[in-house]
Amino acid sequence: MPPNTTATTGDKPGKSGRKKGRKARLVVLVLVLAIIGGIAYGAYWSISTVRASFPQTKGSITLDGLSGPVDVKRDGNGIPQIYASSDADLFMAQGYVQAQDRFYEMDVRRHMTSGRLSEMFGKGQVKNDEFLRTLGWDRVAKKEYDTKLSASTKKYLQAYAKGVNAYLQGKDGKDISLEYAALGFTNDYKPSQWTPVDSVSWLKAMAWDLRGNMQDEIDRALMTSRLGPKQIADLYPDYPYSRNKAIVQEGQYNALTKTFEQNGGTSGSGTSTSGTAGTSSTSTGSALQSQLSGLYNVLDDVPTAVGVNGQGIGSNSWVVAGSHTITGHPLLANDPHLSASLPSVWYQMGLHCRTVSSKCQYDVTGYTFAGMPGVVIGHNQDIAWGMTNSGVDVTDLYLEKLSGDGYLYDGTVKPLTTREETIKVAGGSAKKIIVRQTADGMPLLSDRDDELVKVGKKATVDTAAPDRGDGYGIALRWTALDPGTSMDAVFAMDRASNWSGFRSAAKLFDVPSQNLVYADRTNIGYTLPGKIPTRAKKADGSIPAPGWDSGYKWTGYIPQDALPYEYNPKRGYIVTANQAVVDPDKYPYTLTTDWGYGTRSQRITDLIESKIKGGGKVSTDDMRQMQLDNSSEIAKLLVPKLLKIDIKDKDVRQAQELLEGWDYTQDADSAAAAYFNAVWRNVLKLAFGNKLPKELRVEGQCLWVDPVSSTGPADDTNKVRECGQRDADQAQPDGGDRWFEVVRTLMNDQKSDWWTTPKSLTRPGANDNRDDLFARAMIDARWELTAKLGKDIDTWSWGRLHRLFLKNQTLGTDGPAFVKYILNRGPWKLSGGEATVNATGWNAAGGYGVVWVPSMRMVVNLGDLDKSKWINLTGASGHAYSAHYTDQTSKWVKGELLDWSFTDKAVDQGTSDTLVLKP
């Protein structure tokens, strides 16, 4: 046994271990033949190799550093509830238990956030590490730990790290996880000690993937190579405030306005919400075009943390007041939409002080991240809370005019600061890079790509920009690059007992900015926290800006007391689903120009109102059913138009008939949903996708198009072959609710240029007007599904197209085939779809496969916390052959929820295994 860690009594891994053993026999007597990093190897993986890392869940273990015994009670799904008598013991035990289940995941995450993936996976990760070192997440996290976080938070982080390290003590890689056994064939990597900064850094990764409109900034600027300002405005329509309600409808607007006026009455932002694409293009010219094209390639390779590189991410959360519920107390639902990962990004657990006091202050349960102490989303004994991404604009890209060792700013050359970073590479030589930053801390992202550096030196610019000189670079301004207090906020929310305490805690949650919904036994509320910038008058944050002009700089941050909130609104419910936070006519600050368009939020609102306006009361199961709503809002708009089109081909007509009488519900077994989504995909391709620049289209998809330098109307002569450059999961048009709104605004204009298509871009019949294009889309969809699903439409189903694969985020993605087989799971056929409440997202430009999902679902019953419900995408364990690796997935697919015990009595009744950690 490891020194200072003694196991007594009990078996390893307990009663459920026999089931694990049976699963492990699947890999007995297998010869592993694979190539990793060019090195051929073979290995015999036995039961002992697979089971070596399974956690002990029964009996007792002695841990140095505990002040008293700690009970770890696991239910039938392996979800732990921890009971301790001091805060330090509670968080030390949390670190130990999470490391038991998920240490490999934790280790990969910290290497990602610190730009050290090459130390684990070799030279293939050097480029990623260069970019992540340039961002400097771990450096910012260390500054937070050293200068911003409270003394109590530091103690909790230290206790957590102590628990993780107690688990690691004396263990080899194969004793920790199967993945380390696989890595052992290529390098001699050994995990190092966990530090408090490792935990803080993960908040930076979360902030990166929830960073707001940076992708829209890039896309709008790239569009200017082929589209004019009016065309780009068509593709970014105004938010439909009259149809899809903002979150805050009954807020304290007078007080907010007063605060605004006291701060000088300058919002720091422009007023444009759509036609912004050409705002600064005259200042940046082709230098920006070329730089952004290369920058996207760098961004696209960055490992996904909790989202799909910030694009398309959403979430649902809503709360209903007790006056409208069966229990007479509030109900709160939440389901964040994130990339599908294995294991799930979330880790379920409870943290309980045996007696809540000043010595031990926590009695909280919910979802957290493996590698981070506390609970991020959930409830304690008094309150519950949920989160959705607010989407506020906290990132800006600047085109910088470089001059020698400096950059131009208001006619003066300012020096760039530099630092040297050394990247260690498993099996190879270390690499040194220089990171350059502007005076206000903006890193030059363009330094991370040799082609970008060349472009910056050679790119042509127009007369509004400075002379080229030494070239151009792209710098990033982002709130998360400044030290903050979000880690303090996690613990403060876990302790909060009422609305006032929760609001105070939320003010500490500066990055990423989240919509927070709240409930206690008698009240509901919403608040928007976050560090949200104000900008000088020339800027609105919608596209990259000229860094040499101070008219585009950040001028400060919106005061926390001026951020929107709502408490006990008369309507009796609050819905947040990434829609606009507040009507801009009623609020003096610009939060962003790129909200989600409110399709999901309005559908949730309609479902709630249909229940309560009919005199009904909302139950816990009603909230669950709302989370599973598969209704397609774009189908409601398009299908009546599609059914009016006269289709001559009998096979296409047969497919068209699927839409007759369809209720617009996208169930996995629906043939109509399969056909409609194929039509929608082809409408988008014909009307918009084929007209976008190559930088936004799917990699490898090639078209004959007019040269960029061409002037005058498009024709079918002098074409050039141009191939897409973007990953299929990130390409445009992605088919989300922005595209719903684009089509809605163009629907009544039969002769819009968007409905006309040069003959070279399609087969005959889609180049005259809207209905011709729709007819062509129905034809193309019929034959696309014939190729994918067969000619017999009776065998079609949405789930056959719309499948979920769960992949281990490292070796399950890039490892040898046999390792992928061991680590990955799926597929599952899913219901739901894009911009649907049951948001199983797919990218219409790239295909029908599931890209992001409701990463967990929960419904909190404030009338009886033990009647709350929850589910995770995968399971508690990160061990590939554990019984709890994906034991929740099948239930998740069906829309089922697990019982969520909270009180001592309920937890004891559901406990399968108990482990005692002894001092």
Higher pLDDT, 454 or 310: 454
Count of CB atoms situated within 10 Å of the CB of 296: 21
Q: Give the residue-averaged pLDDT of 357-364.
A: 98
The two three-digit tokens of residue 47, written as one number: 């039961």
* Cis check: omega of the bond before 443, within 30 degrees of 0: no
3-class SS of residue 859:
strand
The pLDDT of residue 264 is 43
Please check the confidence at residue 34 and state whether its pLDDT lies above 70.
no
Nearest C-alpha neighbor of 14 from the set 919, 914, 917:
914
Higher pLDDT, 900 or 471: 900
Is 518:526 a contact under the CB 8 Å cutoff? Answer: yes
The pLDDT of residue 22 is 34
Alpha-carbon distance 532 to 559, whole Å?
A: 9
pLDDT digits (tens, 9 = 90+) for 233-271: 999 999 999 999 999 998 754 445 544 444 444 444 333
Alpha-carbon distance 389 to 484, whole Å?
A: 18
Alpha-carbon distance 359 to 213, whole Å?
A: 43
At 414, give phi and psi (nearest 5°). -100, 145
Count of CB atoms situated within 10 Å of the CB of 405: 12
One DSSP character per residue, 387-405 reads: EEE-----EEEEEEEEETT
Alpha-carbon distance 607 to 627, whole Å?
A: 10
Higher pLDDT, 650 or 179: 650
Which residue type is seen at 449? D
Length of the chain: 919
The pLDDT of residue 715 is 53
Task: For the chain, give percent helix, strand, coil, nearest 5.
Answer: 35, 20, 40
- CA 6, 7, 12, 13 torsion-angle sign: negative
Q: Which residues of 743-760 are buried (b: 16+ CB within 10 A; e: fewer)?
A: bbebeeeeebebbbbbeb
Nearest C-alpha neighbor of 855 from the set 77, 211, 313:
313
Q: Name 81's bridge partners.
A: 73, 350
What letter does residue 444 receive in the DSSP assignment?
A: B
Helices (H) and strands (E) in the chain, counts: 28, 34
Alpha-carbon distance 707 to 721, whole Å?
A: 9
3-class SS of residue 681:
helix
What letter does residue 77 receive in the DSSP assignment?
A: T
Give the model's confidence band at 28: pLDDT under 50 very low, under 70 low, under 90 confident, else very high: very low
Alpha-carbon distance 909 to 919, whole Å?
A: 26
Q: Distances from the Cα of 32 to the Cαs of 185, 187, 266, in angstroms?
A: 11, 17, 65
pLDDT digits (tens, 9 = 90+) for 153-192: 999 999 999 999 999 999 988 899 988 988 887 788 899 9
pLDDT digits (tens, 9 = 90+) for 423-480: 999 989 999 999 999 999 999 988 887 655 554 454 445 555 565 556 788 899 999 9
pLDDT digits (tens, 9 = 90+) for 398-413: 889 988 889 999 999 9
The angle at the Cα of 862, spanning 858 to 864, to the nearest 5 degrees, equals 100
Alpha-carbon distance 570 to 378, whole Å?
A: 25
Q: Give the residue-averaged pLDDT of 596-615.
A: 95
The pLDDT of residue 252 is 59
3-class SS of residue 511:
coil
Q: What is the pTM of this model?
A: 0.91
Alpha-carbon distance 293 to 695, whole Å?
A: 6
Mean pLDDT of the chain: 86
The pLDDT of residue 807 is 93
Outline where DSSP puts E strands in 251-330. Answer: 314-320
